[in-house]
Amino acid sequence: MQERPHLFDENQLGPRRDRAMRLGYSGGAGFLVREVARGIAERVADVKRDFPRMALVGTGAGIIGGALRPGGAGLVQLDPSKAMAGAAAADLPDAVTRLLAGDLLDLAPGAADLAVSALVLHWLNDPVGHLVQLRRALKTDGLMIVALFGGRTLAELRSCLAEAEAEICGGLSPRVAPMGEIRELGALLQRAGFAMPVADSDCFDVSYTSALDLMRELRAMGETNILAGRRRVPMRRDVLARAGELYARHFPVGDGRVRATFEIVYLTGWAPGPGQPKPLRPGSARARLADALGTEERPAGEKTRPGD
């Protein structure tokens, strides 16, 4: 049996999110949670079906749960933050809140019509296992939606920190977590056994007064470094200052501000069930694509003739 990689220190996810919850996402740092809540709610609304029983995994002080089910009736929420218990009592009075312990979900098999995972998957050592647990929690033909950060997220910060540390220290320490590309993330849905998998993303730039201001906001979001191989000492001041200089030089947006890219990937899949569309057997098509396009069909590998 292959041992799963230990890329992240998952035990740190709860305390980081807990701190952010206690501080109330200070300075408006909860804007990404609100953006994810909006994106998930829109995708649920596009499905012309009722979801009496929902399961939500993720932090959000009731923001995401409130967008999905105002009042919380029929919503089970699991969260890595202990502070979520108090927040749910105020924001989702009827919700059943339980602590997410590591990557094991306390969800009854086949109990949910809709399962949502919000801003958790990109910090887990076993993303496929997480998806499998969500699928098992769904009823037949139930819907799952996952939101996580994609590969373009914080590309600017990653490059400036790496350049500054290599220049001053002569080596690199993992500072920003690697994040999957949308094609790779979409493939996880098939590995986890979901039908009709779809992956799409929203990418946008946010401006900050400085790179240091961006890092403060990441801390307020509960999205700071939990890589297992991270250095356990604070970043050197000269490295931090140099990274800020490089950031201001390479990624300005005017008025002395800098930009930071965030990519939110949404993964959608269905628990297998009868009546779902199935892919056709290769060679079973009744019409030729060449006829529809008005072109000449040639066998694969055949060279085109001069003038074609």
Q: Looking at the predicted structure, is the pLDDT value of residue 302 above 60?
A: no
Contact 267, 146 (CB under 8 A): yes
Contact 174, 257 (CB under 8 A): no
Tokens of 23: 């501080």
Residue 218 lies in a domain: no
272: left (phi over 0), alpha (psi -120 to 50) or beta: beta
Average pLDDT, the chain: 82
pLDDT (0 to 100) of residue 82: 58
Write out pLDDT tens, residues 90-132.
443 333 344 454 456 778 889 899 999 999 888 888 889 999 9
Residue 47 lies in a domain: yes
- Looking at per-residue pLDDT, the higher value among 23 and 168 belongs to 168
Residue range(s) defining the domain that contains residue 56: 10-153+178-205+262-273
pLDDT (0 to 100) of residue 174: 76
Q: Which of 35, 30, 31, 27 is nearest to 213 (CA)?
A: 27
Write out pLDDT tens, residues 248-282.
999 999 899 999 999 999 999 999 988 777 666 66
Contact 51, 143 (CB under 8 A): yes
Residue 304 lies in a domain: no
pLDDT (0 to 100) of residue 30: 82
Residue 289 lies in a domain: no
CA 223 to chain centre: 12
Tokens of 18: 């807990």
Q: What CATH number should be reported for the domain holding residue 197?
A: 3.40.50.150
